[in-house]
Every structure is written in C-alpha cells, then in structure tokens.
Amino acid sequence: MRYAARAGDRDLVVELTPEGRYLVGDRVLAADLAETVPGRAWSVVIDGGAHEVAFLGADRVWVDGDEIRLDLADERAVAAGRAGGRAAHARQEIRAPMPGLLKRVHVEEGATVNEGDALVTLEAMKMENELRAAHAGTVAQIAVAEGTKVESGTLLIVIRPE
C-alpha cells in the first residue's frame, strides 16, 4: 500500500511493502516501531535515529517536541482527492468553534455583510468571542437563535457569496 503524507511542511510518499518494509522515495528504511501508549504514542527508530510520536487529536501530531499537522491518505484517497479538487469560497458556514452560549446575533437574514463584519458573539469560558465573515456576501440563513447553548460544530450562520 502506498501513502501520501504531508507532515508539517514536508511532503512524502511512503510505500509499505508486503514484507513489512518501508520505501520512502527510492530508499528502503530500516524502521523499528514500538507502540508505547496504546493508540496514542509510538517510539520510532530509523537507522539509529530515535524519534517519538504522539497523536494529540484530529490531525495534530507531536513529534520530537514539535506539534505539527499530519495529513495522511492511502493511494485510493489520494486519487479521489486529485479528481475532486477544491471549490474556492463556495458558501461560508459559520459554525461554533467551541461549546458555548450564543450571546448575540449581529445580522439578519438577507443582510449584506462585508469581509470582517461581526456576525455573532459566542460566550465560552467567560470570554466573548466575535465570529466574523471571512468574505463578503449575503446572510442566507441564521440557524440558531440568540440565547441558545451550542455544541462545538453547531451550524450558526450561512453566508452566500456575492
């Protein structure tokens, strides 16, 4: 199986051979992995180089003291991703980045907003955080009413691009 990875600022392709060896580019690596915390942390020794890796959550990975993002996909996913591509600035879905109380909604449905306009105020951990529009557009939907307690990821507002 071949994997494409972006680890921090480095791209690499790794092939896992049926014999359990790793091919990185055209090099065969003598890599020895030990799972030190089940499902969470590994000690990785590559040609004598000792590394430590811990999975912190989602795509955040700790390696040798640095916190990086690791995007990892097997060959099929890579192929699918190439075909799809990314739609630039479709519609903006403003979601709660953390659980909290939707203290205020600053806009109305149908209103025009400019880049950077405050949309809602979300209160969490005693702080009020204003979520702002990333691009100009029209407020297509207000999904949650003021005063509602929301979970992380709850859809709050939809902005249609101009």
Cα–Cα dist 123/121, whole Å: 7
Choose one: 58-66, 79-87, 137-145; the region binding another protein (CB under 8 A): 58-66
Of 68, 80, 96, the residue nearest 7 (C-alpha): 68
Please select the residue that binds another protein; options are 102, 131, 139, 150, rule is CB under 8 A.
131
Q: Which of 65, 84, 85, 110 binds another protein (CB under 8 A)?
A: 65
The reply to whether 12 sits near another protein by the rule CB under 8 A is yes
Q: Would you count residue 143 as binding another protein (CB under 8 A)? A: no
The answer to whether 113 and 81 are in contact (CB under 8 A) is no
C-alpha to C-alpha distance for 78 and 83, rounded to whole angstroms? 9
Q: Residue 161 interacts with another protein (CB under 8 A)? A: no
Site for another protein in 29-48 (CB under 8 A): 29, 31, 33, 35, 37, 39-42, 44, 46
Q: Is 125 a binder of another protein (CB under 8 A)? A: yes
**77: helix, strand or coil:** helix
Count of C-beta atoms within a 10 Å radius of residue 123:
14
